[in-house]
Each structure stands twice: as structure tokens, then as C-alpha cells.
Amino acid sequence: MFAQLQPVATDPILGLMAAYKEDTNPNKVDLGVGVYKDGQGHTAVLKCVKEAEALRLKNEDSKTYIGMAGDLGFNNHIEKLALGVGHKALLANRITTAHTPGGTGALRVAAEFIKKANPNATIWVTSPTWANHISMFKAAGLNVKEYTYYDYATKGLNEEAMFADLATVPAGDVVLVHACCHNPSGMDLTFAQWQRFTDIANERGFTPLVDMAYQGFGSGLDEDAKGLRYLADNVEEMLLCSSCSKNFGLYRERIGAVSIMSADSKVMEITRVNLLSVVRSIYSMPPAHGAIVVANILDSTELTALWHQELAEMRDRINNYRQLIIDKLAGEGVQQDFSFITRQHGMFSFLGIDKAQIARLRSEFSIYMVDSSRVSIAGLNHSNIDYFAKSVATVLQG
């Protein structure tokens, strides 16, 4: 039976990670996968995580099963982190959360849950979006459609076309929206656009699914959640997938959460048991480690303060490099306008260069970025920014 299988294309992002690893060029630059690197090019374990792990080792007294919803303390914290303490939906007991193996696990559980709630639902994703959104939703058996989002010509949001597309979404469908730090473009909705999005969701009767993989990487923890909080204030139902991979640097521990907001606490209870049955049928229950580490941090005022500081350092380093890229490219005599880079947020930017230039950067200079020209800005540092700017200038000159 296995001999009948056909080869499958490598994932565009993870494939790049493997190719970079194998490259022996000492000047190679990794701008591929969305993983934070410090000024030395290293992805260190956060200090707050180290301390929380020591606490966990000391306090853990059992390895018994954790339950389908995962760690309830973590779930409580993650809801407040996203929605703010005292959010009306939390007070009204309208939200149920399960901690999941990473943000990807959250999205897959959400997809299976949607399929259960409405087998005919189509899920609409931004054009473009994180490539794995589309393959994962299709694998879960959902129809997937794209709505206009990024405008490659203006290097901004194509607002009118986006809202025109959203105005055609039928009731019962689901629309995925990125909470902040849009992956791959870095171009986020303004608050006014969140308000307009909310109005259309209510007019049309579609259900929003907010994907928040980068809370704290844009402007700050609360600022990055402002749009989704407005949405949650004004719609009856919503799904939220969050991830602790980037903001807690817990990538390989696989820790995320799916939260579902229902119209009232009665529907929430039915939602909760359905959500848990989805979890049970996929992986039964999530691994505990990452959730307890995060809960230990958020249970402690000192560790939370340390986390805020470490998160701000990561965010500021990326934001400073946005301006530095523009300055360095100008310094190399590049005429094109790259000022849009500072209008984008989070881990990524679209450079807006073409596929041939991207391929040349990889083959001649060992500079790795996704084929869409998405760069993970944290891959740049003092040792490689000049080499990067020179190489980009060379390929732009043809």
C-alpha cells in the first residue's frame, strides 16, 4: 500500500530551514522561518522561562493525565492576556479554552470544530496568508477561499477590495483574520479597519477566527490585541487561536490555545464539550510542560515583569532593524523606496523583490528568504546587515 504514495512537496518554510542548515557558506543569512534571533544570531531560552522551568521541576508532584482542556491555570491566563482582565465575555462565562500543541494545534482543532458545527462552512483567509493555513484547513476537510488583503503595488492594504470581498461572505462561513503582525506581509488592520470588519461580520453573519501568533511583537501586548478585543466586544461568536511559540520563545515545546466565544453561557457549555470531543479524537490531551511554564510566569509578578522586559527587547530589536534596513539599502545606492518596511509590524516584512532576485540571493549569497520575499527581520544583526544590504543592492541592479 505504501508504494502507491506520491511524493509531497516540502513545506516552503520548513524546507528553507533545512536548506539553510546544510549551506556551508560562513556568510549565510537566515531570514526564513519566523524564529526570533538575538544580536548574536542565537535563539536563546528566555530568562523568565528558565526560572519558571526550575520552579516546575521543584513543584511537580505527579505525571498523571492533565485532561483534554489541558492546564486550567494556563487557560485562564491566556484568555486574560488576549481579551484583557475583566472582559465582559469572560465575566459572562461565554468563553471556553483548551490548551493545544502549539498555535498550529489550535488552528487544527478550530478547523475540526468548525467542521463539526457547520460541515458546509467555507473558511476565508487573507490573500496572501501563512501557507500552512490553507493546507491545514483543507486537510481538515474545510473549503478554503481567499479574500483580498495585501496590495503588492502600493505595499499596503487593499482596503476597498478587502471589504468588497468580505461583503460577499455568506452567513455560516468563517473568516480568518490575523490579530497583529500579519504573516507573511507585516501589514496589519488599523483600528478603524477592525471596526469596519466587525460591522461586516455582524451584517453578513459570518464567524471570525482570529489567529494571534505574535502578541507582543508588534507594538505591545495590549496594543496588539486592541482590534480583537473590539471584535470580541461586538460579536456574539468568535474563535481565537493563540500561540506562545514566539512571545515566550517556547517554539519546540509546542504551546498554544484555542478559545471559543459563544453567545451565552448555555451555548458555551455545549461548545465546550464539543471542543473537548474534537481534542479527544485527535490527540486526547496536550503535553503539559509549556503550559505550566507559561502559567508559572504569569502567576508571578516578578517573572511577569521579567517576561515583559524580555519581550520588549525582542520587539525593539526588530523594530530598530526595520529602519536600519532602509538606511543601509539607501547607503548602498538603492533608489527604490523601501519606506514601507517601517509601516509593517512584527517578525516579517515583504521586501517586494521578485522570484529571480530571491533565487539569486540564495544561490550566490546564501541569503535565505521565503519565495514571496517574506523576510524574518530578526535574522539580521550587526555582523550581517551590511552583507545583506550589499547583496540586495547587487541583485536589484540586475
Residues classed as catalytic = 130, 211, 246
**Least distance from C-beta 373 to ligand LMR, angstroms?**
14
388 is a contact residue toward ligand LMR (CB under 6 A): no
**Least distance from C-beta 183 to ligand LMR, angstroms?**
5
Question: Are the beta carbons of 111 and 132 closer than 8 angstroms?
Answer: no
**Least distance from C-beta 377 to ligand LMR, angstroms?**
12
* Residue whose CB is less far from ligand LMR, 70 or 103: 103
Kindly state the cell numbers that stand for 55: 520552579
34 is a contact residue toward ligand LMR (CB under 6 A): yes
**Least distance from C-beta 371 to ligand LMR, angstroms?**
13
Q: First vs last Cα of the chain: how many Å apart? A: 49
183 is a contact residue toward ligand LMR (CB under 6 A): yes
**Comparing C-alpha atoms, which of 56, 57, 38, 55 is closest to residue 46?**
38
Site for ligand LMR in 199-228 (CB under 6 A): none
DSSP state of 300: -
Per-residue contact track with ligand LMR, 111 to 130, x per CB under 6 A?
Answer: -------------------x
Site for ligand LMR in 130-149 (CB under 6 A): 130, 132
Q: How far apart are CA 340 and CA 41, in angstroms?
A: 25
Q: How many CA atoms lie within 13 A of 118 on its CB side?
A: 12
33 is a contact residue toward ligand LMR (CB under 6 A): yes
**Least distance from C-beta 350 to ligand LMR, angstroms?**
13
* Residue whose CB is less far from ligand LMR, 181 or 231: 181
User: Cα–Cα distances in Å, from 245 out to 8, 60, 213, 215, 288?
Assistant: 26, 22, 8, 10, 15
179 is a contact residue toward ligand LMR (CB under 6 A): no
Kindly state the cell numbers that stand for 398: 540586475
Q: How far apart are CA 282 and CA 275, in angstroms?
A: 11
* Residue whose CB is less far from ligand LMR, 38 or 337: 38
Q: How far apart are CA 378 and CA 38, in angstroms?
A: 7
13 is a contact residue toward ligand LMR (CB under 6 A): yes
* Residue whose CB is less far from ligand LMR, 206 or 214: 214
372 is a contact residue toward ligand LMR (CB under 6 A): no
* Residue whose CB is less far from ligand LMR, 214 or 338: 214
Query: For 156-286, where are the E strands, in sequence order?
Result: 156-157, 174-178, 207-212, 238-243, 256-261
**Comparing C-alpha atoms, which of 128, 82, 90, 121 is closest to residue 256?**
82
349 is a contact residue toward ligand LMR (CB under 6 A): no
Nearest residue to ligand LMR by CB is 34
Contacts of 258 (CB under 8 A, 6+ apart): 97, 98, 100, 106, 107, 109, 110, 113, 239, 240, 241, 275
**Least distance from C-beta 21 to ligand LMR, angstroms?**
15
* Residue whose CB is less far from ligand LMR, 130 or 137: 130
Question: Are the beta carbons of 288 and 71 closer than 8 angstroms?
Answer: yes
Kindly state the cell numbers that stand for 276: 473537548
Residues at the interface with ligand LMR (CB under 6 A): 13, 33-34, 130, 132, 183
